Structure 1
Amino acid sequence: MKAWAVVENGKPLQEIELPTPEPQGDEVLLEVTHAGVCHSDLHIWEGEYDLGARGKLRMADRGLSLPLAMGHEIVGRVAKWGPGAEGRVKAGDVRLVFPWVGCGTCARCAAEEENMCAVRPRALGVYQHGGYATHVLATHWKHLVPIEGLDPALAATYACSGVTVFSAIRKLMPLGAEEFVVVVGAGGLGLQAIAILRALGHRAICAVDLDPAKLEAATAQGASATVQAGEDTAKRILAACGGPVMAVMDLVNGSATAAAAFDALGKGGKLVQVGLFGGEMRVPLPLMPIKALTIQGSYVGSLPELRELVGLAQQGQVPPIPVSQEPFEKADWALNRLREGKVTGRIILTAG
């Protein structure tokens, strides 16, 4: 199979030939038709995460090896399958692929929380080849989600940006429809968060970003207030929301955004940290119990959450985010556009 792969960290993606997998057991081989370009791909491409004073977390230390075809927002057509998938799929089925797979046998995996597997994480596009390729191997037929009635380019985004913010929103709830939810970052995840909050009936949404163009996109998506980030971001959030807030979703999660998010919280408020920008957070410890605050991380989402989100989208409840489509041959260009902050919504790589 052909792949557009990371061969050396920080260097341009290369078009290479890889062996086409032969599905075994419950596995299913798909021809990739659509693959989203996600901000997480930048960290994989760079080869490390910034841990602030603790230094760097190298992707190699997490078990990543090169060359690697990235891409975890994948839609494809079923081509072949192992004997365990017989009768579960048929040739030509178009499916969204759940990429956040684990060992398949631990308690977390048995509970359909494979994204939380600590035994042997095997996420597509991270630990094994993903969607920046002509073919991808789904590790189990149950990971294939039907998307009838949806634009496959848009549906691809639900496998990461969609299910990631859906899972984070669930951690913020319950919350009244008129209680502000602050969404830090108005890129692909931020716009998806606004769309899903609107789908769930939420009406008070404040988007925060450095880029005025992205804030305009957030308003178009349904944000009821916007804040341009700066040195006094927390004060601007308080002004826009009429005071301290009960819910902040930080989709950037850098040192500056984390501090501003914390300072904007009201008593009993919750900060859910999603992004992987990096750095560290210093928290005044007495304020944690005095204000009864919660800080919680949220890592992508589960297979049941993805199925639920796709169901909402199929019912027409989730407004689409902006997507642009480019051929796989422009994968490196697309990655660099994202790195330069020049993408509104999502770039989706497509097969010619």
Structure 2
Amino acid sequence: MKRAEIVKPNDPLVISEIPIPDPAANGVVIKIRYSGVCHSDVNQWTNERDYGDRVGRYTDNPQYKLPIVPGHEISGILHSLGETCCTELKIGDRVVVYPWLGCGECGYCNEDNTPLCEHRNNILGFGKSSGGYASHIAVGDAKFVIKLPDSVSLDFACMLPCSGLTTYNAVTNAKDTVERAMRYKGKSSILIVGAGGLGLWCIGMAKQVLPKTTRIVVADIKKSKLDVAKKYGPSETVLWDSASLKQDIVERTSEAGGFDAVLDFVNSKITAEIAQECLGIGGIHVMVGLYGGGANISLPKIPLRTQRIQGVLTGTVRQLKEVLKLCETGKIRAPPLTYYKLEDVMEAMTLVKNGEMTGRGIIKFE
């Protein structure tokens, strides 16, 4: 099998060849067809993430060892089954992989809530477990592998366990608040911050999950990304250009009474501060992005306006199955896709790092 490894931070990934792995007793091996290039992969490559009060490095964790094969957005064909694997899956099935495995022993993992596991040391493509920048991958437990509906393509599916699932979780976290606004005010509105891959997913998810008349506004710093977003049917787009003062952007973005929900897929200092200024009474601010930094937010304003801040990190296996059912209808559109060979993955990672990727980049295996 062929794979791409991060051997040294900021160096080009190294292509290597190793034997195809054998499946664990209760696990499977997937022949990968598509693997998404996520910003988290880039963070591993640069070996740093801004936590606001400090810059953390992946290699500071003693359980994180280089070289590592990144990639956690994986779809493909079931290649082999473990000898005691108890599953309805069959060799040759088209499948998608849930990568957020957790420790497998705590109460959260036992209740299908691995994003809350305190020992997330076994995520595919991070630290311990090799990921999707490879022609094959071993998944230790078949319960994390889901058969695809016939109507869902493999390239579309590879993005669902991360960007699709995350945006669905963000929208469903805002759903009760938005529905309450609709009941009491007769109208509802949301602001989506960021028109990249996640933001484009979010437009489609919101149109299917939230009340049909919900006003959906999308903001971004790049007009080119907003032009793409308009094709996905938001109510309005707004440019947050760097030349404008923050208060000018707030005034240009806000509506009477404020938004019922802000879903921030950037989550930087400036986007968090603008989001709070644009949020209405009783609104929810869903923080998703991992841009980094800290923000100056009025703390008394949150209880005085009965607002809520909710962090979202991926989702559960159950939610991924719900996403697949939603996508089976054909009403959720994928972001624009750009395909790369494994040997050209550095081109995709560089575009993601510089914020220049339109839609999503994915690795295509023959």
Give me the TM-score of the superposition, normalised by structure 1: 0.94
Deviates more, 1:78-87 or 1:282-291: 78-87
SS for the counterpart of 2:158 is helix
User: Within 1, Cα distance between the matches of 2:188 and 2:248?
Assistant: 18
Aligned to 1:345: 359
User: Within 1, Cα distance between the matches of 2:197 and 2:152?
Assistant: 18
Q: What is the CA-CA distance between 1:237 and the residue it aligns to?
A: 5.0
- The reply to whether residue 39 of structure 1 matches residue 52 of structure 2 is no
Kept after mapping to 1: 8 A contact 2:32/2:135: yes
User: Within 1, Cα distance between the matches of 2:45 and 2:188?
Assistant: 38
Aligned to 2:136: 135
- Backbone CA RMSD of aligned residues: 1.8
Aligned to 1:153: 155
Aligned to 1:94: 94
SS for the counterpart of 1:126 is coil
1:103–1:151 distance in 2 versus 1, CA, 3 Å: same
Aligned to 1:293: 307
Residues 215-254 of structure 1 mapped to structure 2, 5 A cutoff? 215-230=226-241, 231-232=244-245, 235-236=248-249, 238-243=251-256, 244-254=258-268
Aligned to 2:296: 282
Amino acid at match of 2:291: F
Aligned to 1:126: 126
Aligned to 1:29: 29
Kept after mapping to 1: 8 A contact 2:70/2:133: yes
The percentage of counterpart residues that share the same residue type is 32
User: Within 2, Cα distance between the matches of 1:235 and 1:173?
Assistant: 29
Q: What is the CA-CA distance between 1:324 and the residue it aligns to?
A: 2.1
Q: State the number of aligned residues.
A: 351
User: Within 1, Cα distance between the matches of 2:317 and 2:48?
Assistant: 27
Kept after mapping to 2: 8 A contact 1:28/1:140: yes
User: Within 1, Cα distance between the matches of 2:246 and 2:323?
Assistant: 31
Kept after mapping to 1: 8 A contact 2:254/2:278: no
Q: Deviations over 1:24-70 (max 9, x none)?
A: 12211111110011122111111111123x21121123432211111
Q: What is the CA-CA distance between 1:239 and the residue it aligns to?
A: 3.8
Q: Which runs of 5+ in 2 are unaligned?
A: none
Deviates more, 1:171-180 or 1:43-52: 171-180
User: Within 2, Cα distance between the matches of 1:118 and 1:321?
Assistant: 32
Residues 35-74 of structure 1 mapped to structure 2, 5 A cutoff? 35-52=35-52, 54-62=53-61, 63-74=63-74
Residues 166-177 of structure 1 mapped to structure 2, 5 A cutoff? 166-174=168-176, 175-176=178-179
User: Within 2, Cα distance between the matches of 1:326 and 1:246?
Assistant: 39
SS for the counterpart of 1:80 is strand
Aligned to 1:210: 221
Q: Deviations over 1:132-157 (max 9, x none)?
A: 00111122111111222112111111
Aligned to 1:9: 9
Amino acid at match of 1:113: N
1:18–1:280 distance in 2 versus 1, CA, 3 Å: farther
Q: What is the CA-CA distance between 1:185 and the residue it aligns to?
A: 0.7
Q: Deviations over 1:276-323 (max 9, x none)?
A: 110012322221211112112111111111100011111223233221
Q: Deviations over 1:100-133 (max 9, x none)?
A: 1111121101111112211343111113111100
Kept after mapping to 2: 8 A contact 1:234/1:261: no
User: Within 1, Cα distance between the matches of 2:156 and 2:233?
Assistant: 18
User: Within 1, Cα distance between the matches of 2:250 and 2:34?
Assistant: 37
Give me the TM-score of the superposition, normalised by structure 2: 0.91
Which of 188, 194, 199 is 1:179 aligned to? 188
SS for the counterpart of 1:218 is helix
Residues 309-320 of structure 1 mapped to structure 2, 5 A cutoff? 309-320=323-334
Amino acid at match of 1:119: H
Q: What is the CA-CA distance between 1:19 and the residue it aligns to?
A: 5.1
SS for the counterpart of 1:252 is coil
Deviates more, 1:213-222 or 1:114-123: 114-123
